Amino acid sequence: MWAAGARRPGLVLAALAALGLALEALVARRRRPVREVLFFPSRPSCTEALLAEAASPDDTPGPCPCPLPHGDCAFSRLLRHLLSARRSLELCLFAFSSPQLGRAVCLLHHRGVRVRVVTDAQYMALKGSQIGLLRHAGIQVRHDQESGFMHHKFAIVDRKMLITGSLNWTTEAIQNNRENILIMEDAEYVQPFLEEFERIWEIYDPLKYMFFSKENQ
Amino acid sequence: MWAAGARRPGLVLAALAALGLALEALVARRRRPVREVLFFPSRPSCTEALLAEAASPDDTPGPCPCPLPHGDCAFSRLLRHLLSARRSLELCLFAFSSPQLGRAVCLLHHRGVRVRVVTDAQYMALKGSQIGLLRHAGIQVRHDQESGFMHHKFAIVDRKMLITGSLNWTTEAIQNNRENILIMEDAEYVQPFLEEFERIWEIYDPLKYMFFSKENQ
């Protein structure tokens, strides 16, 4: 065996690489699911490095000269979990006006993550709303046309991580309100939210919008 | 053994009762923790029987003559979990104007459950707010005096069941909005919310209220 390996080093390396990948997949499947609770208001913290790293993973950003603290905080943890998306991101948000979270979602879209957004028709016109920017970037957005509010505030990362709570994605809520979010990978909680998203996504299909009465058509 | 048992039937019965109690305790400890996700708007449903039963557990209420459906729905499930409180109830609610939920909380208070409420100073004056009624019933209520909102919407039943989500406790939200709540007994999620409640409860101690400036005192 060893003699054959010595004669074919390429084969041995390929086998080792395959073994490494298999082990990595096993570890990933066996790792403890994320279970985190974050409370707000978040203390102010610079998130520039996190966003820069997500935009250019190969570049090491230099030290940030801004006067804000640069440590971990509730908001940076939220951002980090969001930026971990590799394949898909479902957002179901009553109000979305945080510029940093808007940038993060656009980054994910540009990175090839399939982003879908559901929001509230009245609150998407909120001052500083990120919805126009998301649409401009080419992200699919759908909204309600109901009298009640689309009041959910949840995100689903890669169909396996749920981020949900009282927090609207606004700077005001992040910096000034008492809020909570749960970040969880328990399938029992994630699955119903995924189904709720798909249900709402279909109900809010633009083909079903009724802004113009039949008489005007 | 049997002969001795036959001579002392009281002893055997007492032993059986003790065994039954021990088994019951074991089953209760071993029962699967509650893990439930509810979505709103809830379909309309009469909750009179639930509230009547909670008020007088020994009376069997007659059939309700009202025209509403009487089956299970998201709202009745929320109410049922709330009414399961035996020892304590912590409420941390941005807006609380649902009359049924107000009645349920007063019922629990009258049943001897230790109820504590934290709410938002601006929204406790909301039309139909239940906060005045709760205070009138003798329930302790504390509120913020901050510029941001006390925007949490969670309840903790008997220090072991967490009810949290996007739902404010208003009829509008229950009947018209798209909302979610999680009902969970996972200690990893319940414990941080308990600590958050205790932290806020202390911060909002009325002794620390600053409505009057030092100059006016």
**CATH number given to A34-210:** 3.30.870.10
Query: Choosing from A153, A160, A186, A208, which is the catalytic residue?
Result: A153
Report CB contact under 8 Å: A188, B148: no
Domain positions in chain A are 1-31, 34-210
Q: Is B33 left (phi over 0), alpha (psi -120 to 50) or beta?
A: beta
- Active site residue ranges of B: 151, 153, 158
Question: Considering only residues 145 to 174 of chain B, which have any Cβ-Cβ distance to chain A shorter than 8 Å?
Answer: 146-154, 164-167, 172-173
Give the range with max mean pLDDT: A53-57, B140-144, B209-213.
B140-144
Average pLDDT, chain B: 90
Please tell me which residue of chain B has the smallest CA distance to A41.
B148
Which one of A152, A169, A199, A203 would you mutate to disrupt binding with B, by most B Cβ within 10 Å of its Cβ?
Answer: A152
Question: Taking CB atoms and an 8 Å cutoff, what residues of chain B touch A144?
Answer: 178
In this structure, the number of other CB atoms found within 10 A of the CB of residue A146 comes to: 15
State the pLDDT at residue B29. 66
Q: What is the mean pLDDT of residues B36-46?
A: 94
Question: Taking CB atoms and an 8 Å cutoff, what residues of chain A touch B196?
Answer: 39, 180
Which one of B43, B91, B96, B182 would you mutate to disrupt binding with A, by most A Cβ within 10 Å of its Cβ?
Answer: B182
| Nearest residue to A149 via CA among B80, B95, B90 | B95
State the pLDDT at residue A3. 55
Is A216 within 8 Å of chain B by CB?
Answer: no
State the pLDDT at residue B10. 83
Is B182 within 8 Å of chain A by CB?
Answer: yes
Report CB contact under 8 Å: A177, B41: no
Largest CA distance in chain A: 84
Is A192 within 8 Å of chain B by CB?
Answer: yes
Select the more confidently predicted residue: B213 or B105: B105
- What is the pTM assigned to this prediction? 0.85
What is the per-residue pLDDT across B103-124, written as a single tens digit (0 to 9) for each?
A: 999 999 999 999 999 999 999 9
Residue B33 predicted with pLDDT over 50: yes
| pLDDT band at residue B51 under the 50/70/90 scheme | very high
Question: Taking CB atoms and an 8 Å cutoff, what residues of chain A touch B170?
Answer: none
State the pLDDT at residue B166. 98
Residue B94 predicted with pLDDT over 90: yes
Cβ-Cβ pairs closer than 8 A, A with B, add up to 102
Tens place of pLDDT per residue across chain A (217 aa): 455 555 677 888 888 888 888 887 777 667 899 999 999 999 888 988 899 988 888 887 788 888 888 889 999 999 999 999 999 999 999 999 999 999 999 999 999 999 999 999 999 988 899 999 999 999 999 999 888 999 999 999 999 999 999 999 999 999 999 999 999 999 999 999 999 999 999 999 998 887 644 554 4
How far is B4 from B10, CA to CA, in rounded Å?
11
State the pLDDT at residue B216. 46
Shortest CA gap A192–chain B (Å):
7
Residue A152 annotated in active site:
no
Please tell me which residue of chain B has the smallest CA distance to A188.
B35
Which residue type, as a one-letter code, is found at position B176? N
Residue B139 predicted with pLDDT over 80: yes
First-residue to last-residue Cα distance in chain A: 78
State the pLDDT at residue A21. 81
State the pLDDT at residue A6. 57
Please tell me which residue of chain A has the smallest CA distance to B147.
A176
Is residue A66 packed enough to be buried (19+ CB in 10 Å), middle (13-18) or exposed (0-12)?
exposed
Question: Taking CB atoms and an 8 Å cutoff, what residues of chain A touch B173?
Answer: 149, 151
State the pLDDT at residue B182. 98
Query: Under a CB-based contact definition with an 8 Å cutoff, are residues B163 and B81 in contact?
Result: yes
